Structure 1
Amino acid sequence: MEANRIGVAAIIVENPDSVQEVNETLHKFSGLIVGRLGIPYRERGVAVISVVLDGTTDDISALTGRLGKIGGVTVKAAVSKK
C-alpha cells in the first residue's frame, strides 16, 4: 500500500467558463484537500488557486491530471518526498 504524501497544487484558470468545472473536480477529490486558497486576479482576468493535498501520489496525479484536461486551466503540483 502506497503511503500518503503532502502536496500542493497550483491552478491558474484563464477561462472564466472553466471555473465551475474546476470547482466540481475539486469537490470530487475533496477527501484529499487539506486547505484551499483562491484569488480572483481581476486585473489579469484569471483566478489563481492553491490547494494543499494529503494523498497517495496516484491520487494527487489523478486530480491534477483531470484538472489539466479542462480547457483554459494550467496546473502544477509539488509533492513531498516522505
Structure 2
Amino acid sequence: MQTRIAAVSIIIENPDSVEKLNTVLHDYSQYIIGRMGIPYQKRNISIICIVMDAPNDVISALSGKLGMIPYITAKTAYSKLFDAE
C-alpha cells in the first residue's frame, strides 16, 4: 500500500477539547512519526504539529475527525513523495 508523509497542524482554542483530540490521535498512533506541541499562553491557545507516514485515506480520515472536534482547527500538508510498502 502506498503511503505519504504529511504534516497536520492543529490549533486548539479551548482546553476542554484536548481529551477528545488525544483520543483521536491515539487511534492513529501507529501512523504518527512525531508530535510537537506549543502552548501559546499570550493568546490562550495551543498548537500541535503531527507528522505521519500513512496512506492518503488514513491521513484524510484523521484530519476530518480532528476538524469535527469543537474548538479545533486542523490543516494538512502532504508530501509529493509516495512510497510503496
TM norm structure 2 = 0.92
Q: Distance in 2 between matches of 1:52 and 1:18?
A: 20
Q: Distance in 2 between matches of 1:32 and 1:79?
A: 14
The structural deviation recorded for 1:42 is: 1.1
Question: Gaps spanning 5+ residues in structure 2: where?
Answer: none
**What are the Cα deviations for residues 8-51 of structure 1, in whole angstroms up to 9, with x where unaligned?**
00000001100111111101100110000011111111010001
Q: Kindly report structure 1 stretches of 4+ aligned residues shifted beyond 3 Å.
A: none
Other structure's SS at 2:80 match: coil
Q: Which amino acid aligns with 2:46?
A: A
Structure 1 match to 2:12: 13
Q: Distance in 2 between matches of 1:23 and 1:46?
A: 16
Q: Distance in 2 between matches of 1:44 and 1:50?
A: 18
Question: Gaps spanning 5+ residues in structure 1: where?
Answer: none
Give the percent of matched residue pairs that are identical in Structure 1 and Structure 2: 49
Q: Which aligned pairs between 1:2-81 and structure 2 lie closer than 5 A?
A: 3-81=2-80
Q: Distance in 1 between matches of 2:24 and 2:35?
A: 13
Number of aligned pairs?
81
RMSD, aligned α-carbons: 0.7
